[in-house]
Amino acid sequence: MLLVGGAAPTSAVAAWTAPVTLSAGGRQANSAQVGIDAQGDAVFVWRRFDGTNWRIQARARSAAGTLSSIQNLSAPGQNASHPQVAVDADGDAVFTWERFDGTKWRIQARARSAAGALGPVQTLSAAGRHATLPQLGVDSAGNAVFVWQRSDGTNWRVQAVGRSATGALGPVQTLSAAGQDAVRAQVAVDPAGRAVFTWERYPGIQARARTAAGALSGVQFLSNGYSPQVGVDAHGNAVFAWNRHVSSPSEPRGATRVQARARSAGGALSPIQTIIDPGPGGGGCGCNPQVAVDPTGDAVFSWEWISDYLESFYWVQVRARSASGTLSPIQSLTDEAGHERGRDAQVGIDAAGNALVTWDFGPGVAAQVRSASGALGPLQTFPVSARPFPQVAVNGAGNAVITWQNSNGTNSVVQAAAGP
């Protein structure tokens, strides 16, 4: 699907390909992720049970729809989990995951060229302590920055390392201070290799930047809150999103808002903005925020709005923020689609600011375009028989790929669909 111009495309429904199953049958496969290059070629990663252990696997899909063979990324003999992938403009991919070494969980990585050649497995985290939940980003040349959390024996600390496109690893850097757990780290990398990190450390959200050469900025406190996300534009300016419990006496316990804040490449922080608020006396929850940022700094947020404690209804909603900080109206995609439920929303964005949101609406996966001007395109749905946990990747030209898990009646499998 091509997401160009100010108006939503009218042929989006017809443009989507039929779903294709990526993983082999016979064993469980799940936890799919996807990245896409400038030409629309996609690389997928997931984990699959081999009968003894969970292994990390990958497969590519050309823009024309040709699938590569399935490749095993992690070694047999121990469980591997939490796979992630990032793809550069030329289609070279870098993967990361966590794997048990027999004593502790370690962070590993591996590269795949656009032609399909695999590099060696590299272990990123030191032995002796658990390290989990890796994330990564790549720049336009294929240089990668990884982040994860690792125990120091008392608390979780956030660590990072850079990897050049040729495979050279830099030194591991500890980003968070000792004395409190620092968890749920995220990273976004701009085309020039500058990285912005965010994580959760009591009592709230922190951030730190890293130059392409590896120099670290100071740690900045963004807000009280949890579950941070971050995106960056082409110049290293970042936009963050997170959840924050409402503490006003007029709000019921559990009410949650989504908030955001921007950081310039030079480190200046904008004011905090509330993206959605339960309002006085409201009991709703704006949960699981996501953010995508285009090259000029315009951002689109997605989240789930849960109406009450009983979760009677939950909707997927979106809102945009211009690079200058202006917020658009909130739009409820599930209302527009006639759905009463929607969850697990993900968002991607193209170079013109057109966004694609995908979510689980109960009996299937939904996808819908929001143009840069706010127009909503036609709804595309794919039936599923299991909770799909969809993921999305969008390149600068607006080519989109989504992936999810489904059931074949016996096992979970990984599936995907794409635009032309």
| Domain at 256, CATH number | 2.120.10.10
The confidence score (pLDDT) of residue 335 equals 72
Residue 55 lies in a domain: yes
Residue 262 lies in a domain: yes
Cβ distance 193 to 209 under 8 Å?
A: no
Residue 3 lies in a domain: no
The confidence score (pLDDT) of residue 306 equals 85
Residue 399 lies in a domain: yes
Confidence of residue 246 (pLDDT cuts 50, 70, 90): confident
Count of the separate structural domains present in the chain? 1
The DSSP symbol for 376 reads: B
Residue 4 lies in a domain: no
The confidence score (pLDDT) of residue 283 equals 64
Residue 280 lies in a domain: yes
Nearest Cα neighbor of 161 from 99, 236, 87, 216 is 216
Residue with tokens 């994580």: 199
The confidence score (pLDDT) of residue 281 equals 55
CA-to-CA separations, 331 to 238, 339, 376, in angstroms, rounded: 23, 14, 9
pLDDT in tens, 70-87: 999 999 999 999 999 999
Q: Which domain holds residue 350?
A: 12-418
Confidence of residue 175 (pLDDT cuts 50, 70, 90): very high
The confidence score (pLDDT) of residue 307 equals 73
Percent of the chain beyond pLDDT 90? 85
Residue 158 lies in a domain: yes
| Angstrom distance (rounded) from CA 282 to CA 305 | 12
Q: Look up residue 51 and give its two tokens.
A: 């009968």
pLDDT in tens, 1-30: 333 333 333 333 348 999 999 999 999 999
| Angstrom distance (rounded) from CA 393 to CA 403 | 9
Nearest Cα neighbor of 22 from 51, 53, 63, 65 is 65
- Using CB atoms within 10 A of its CB, is residue 205 exposed (0-12), middle (13-18) or buried (19+)? buried
Residue 7 lies in a domain: no
Q: Look up residue 367 and give its two tokens.
A: 């996808």
Nearest Cα neighbor of 339 from 369, 322, 359 is 359
pLDDT in tens, 380-391: 999 999 999 999
pLDDT in tens, 100-125: 999 999 999 999 999 999 999 999 99
Average pLDDT over all residues of the chain: 92
The confidence score (pLDDT) of residue 15 equals 84
How far is the first Cα of the chain from the last one, in angstroms, to the nearest whole number? 6
Of the ranges 6-10, 40-44, 242-246, 398-402, which one carries the lowest mean pLDDT score?
Answer: 6-10
Average pLDDT over residues 250-265: 81
